[in-house]
Structure 1
């Protein structure tokens, strides 16, 4: 598992969740030590505004996360500071915004795990709250209408910077709003996340026109991922039920083979359980639509080297709707993904939109390497670019 796999993230639709949706990931993956201790030199992070829709004065950057001990944020000068309850201003919210200062705004990125939020037009409202063991942050939940950040056009990229290595990705697991591309220079030059010309509008149009998905489009602000749409009544909680039933019926009469680093597992359905033999005995109860979309519940992936990897492959196959076309997983030809009317049209639209065909449309999208994720063990520079809205 890569250090930035979405499988480690804790996601929630609750607007006031502490350090959500990335608390577990940040705490597990970041380096230890308080933010006031001397750190290795930061990694230059360049922010470039090529949006064409917002000038620099209307774009606000936030770097928030965890250093392994404390929840923290990065100042415009590249200083890592621990979140304090006293950071809340008269309006009840912090102001950790980093302004854009020119064609390229460079911030020194300390060792930490976290998110780089981009807000367009208005600032985001991060609230410092009592986390029980120190101050924590309530992160934006743009899929919750009552969230104070719901009116703000915003998005984020995720990263872990540790011991000279950088692991980073763009993400659409929760929602899509701002087109972002990341570049990484180190042992090699890499980019991912870049949208094709006009692709932002096409994503909105394609999701809006897909049967059952139209309510996930919020004006021109964002498209909400269908899993979160279930929680807000915007998406049917039984959408995948017919497909799940077909899969269960199919593998009651034939074997399903799943290959992971541990070897090949062979599974059959009996009743409500899909059981595998092979390198280990693992089993899964029949998932719900919510389980499929969040890659959780019946498809939860523990970090155990056996059940977890099989769950990841199954989750990807359900979301890509490839389980009825091949009994050997994972499949690696994207031409076979998202076929048929009842599929994950949100993830389908996101993958069609990017130049490299990669996106994080659901949590197991890194199976077979289709996530918008890059890493470098000797990173020298990272660039986050707001690409054209049109």
Structure 2
């Protein structure tokens, strides 16, 4: 079930924000020494959705001081999950009643690596197995959350600060904006759509040929719920498994006779790796000429999920190279730039074969930043904000227009 980066790291108690926190130097961020971060900080939730549905909030994750998985109540008190079962057993009701339209409320966030879910009109269904929490998996038609309108943000709060992001790695659904307020009076936000961006995204995806409109899920009454990620589209058959083949084949042909240079660390420009295809495998050498890792030709699932043939272990060689390759394939920049990653976004998604889902999401973001695939943080294109001395986090539920 936990096949995308988000779900893989969630299974180990980490959020996408944690992965970003662990790779800030690679993407150009820095984390200066800060004063002690309090045990909990306020999360202000503002409902600007203009919807009349009751909102439910969930704060789920891993308690960083103990490694235990569980949930936090509105006061930020940690509650560990009880033992699960096989078949899965119902989880305790962790729902916090959220604010009505036009209102705000504040809850407390503990030192967690986790997710803040929110749903409209119905509570989400969570269950526990012997291995822990079962997350919603709406690519499965029988998932009990399939017809619920919901979404989630991810965050990590630890002694070094707060990282919080919006995410569309698994799906694009009801819009929201995340923010931080710092002790020096500064603030930052991410994830806000352009005016009309929500409907604009779905309209664009419906008009995209090649099966991309099949990613859209609706209720039986026609209400639009979400668009699945292309990874889930391929896995469920909604999107053709061959959707990226033409581009991948052209990349493989190009680098049979030329070299792809990867400089994965923004703060270490002298660290370079050189890729050439031989025998249908792309081999990467270091500056000494030694082969350090190799990649088989990836399929669409590997590209969209940044896994399988583009697996990215948490190391200092293969993982960083794979991250860069994954970003280049999704953005379709590998044919126009033999030096990766790209410094800017001007050449992203220009090829006829590309991640159209990611393309359409970025087009509709107010600042162009999003987490539309697992390694969208390559080149700092992600919708992530950070505060070393956080005094408040913000989650704004935006209108569906």
Q: What's the TM-score once normalised by structure 2's chain length? A: 0.85
Change (3 A) 1:27 1:224: closer
1:1-390 to 2 correspondences below 5 Å: 11-12=2-3, 22-26=10-14, 40-55=38-53, 58-68=54-64, 69-85=67-83, 92-101=90-99, 103-131=103-131, 136-163=132-159, 165-186=161-182, 187=184, 188-211=186-209, 212-219=211-218, 220-261=224-265, 263-279=271-287, 281-390=292-401
Deviation at 1:21, TM superposition (A): 6.5
1:259-298 superposed Cα distances (whole Å, 9 cap, x missing partner): 1225121211102211122256222111111100000112
CA distance change for structure 1 residues 326 and 119 in 2, over 3 Å: closer, same or farther? same
For residues 137 and 266 of structure 1, what CA distance do their matches in structure 2 show? 41
Are the aligned partners of 2:47 and 2:99 in contact in 1 as well (CA < 8 Å)? no
SS at match of 1:106: strand
* Secondary structure of 1:108's aligned partner: strand
Instruction: Please give the secondary structure, in 2, of the residue aligned with 1:26.
Output: coil
In 1, Cα distance between equivalents of 2:129 and 2:275: 46
Shift of 1:40: 4.6
Range 204-213 or range 280-289, more displaced: 280-289
Superposition TM-score, scaled by structure 1 size: 0.87
- Whether contact under 8 Å (1:208, 1:216) holds in the other structure is no
Preserved CA contact (<8 Å) 2:164 2:179: no
CA–CA separation in structure 1 for the residues paired with 2:75 and 2:99 = 12
Q: Deviations 1:3-47 (Å, cap 9, x if unpaired)?
A: xxxxxxx9338xxxxx877112529969xxxxxxxx953110011
Q: Structure 1 residues 66 and 25 mapped into 2: Cα distance closer, same or farther (>3 Å)?
A: closer
Does the C-alpha gap of structure 1 residues 25 and 366 become closer, same or farther in structure 2, counting only changes over 3 Å?
farther
1:164 deviates by 5.4
- Structure 2 unaligned runs (5+)? 20-36, 219-223
CA distance in 2, matches of 1:378, 1:289: 41
How far apart are residue 232 of structure 1 and its match?
A: 1.4
Q: Give the length in aligned residue pairs.
A: 359
Separation of aligned partners in 1, 2:216 and 2:58: 25
Aligned equivalents of 1:257, 1:164: Cα separation in 2: 33
Preserved contact between residue 73 and residue 96 of structure 1 (Cα < 8 Å): yes
Q: Helix, strand or coil for the counterpart of 1:383?
A: strand
CA deviation vs aligned residue, 1:154-179 (integer Å, no higher than 9, x gap): 11000111115101111100001110
SS in 1 for 2:242: coil
Task: Give the deviation of 1:93 after TM superposition.
Answer: 4.8
Where does the alignment leave 5 or more consecutive residues of structure 1 unmatched?
A: 1-9, 14-18, 31-38
Is the Cα contact below 8 Å between 1:21 and 1:139 reproduced in 2? no
What value does the CA root-mean-square deviation take over the aligned residues?
2.3
User: Could you give the per-residue CA deviations for residues 73-115 of structure 1, whole angstroms, max 9, x where no partner exists?
Assistant: 011232111012599xxx9453211112462211110111100
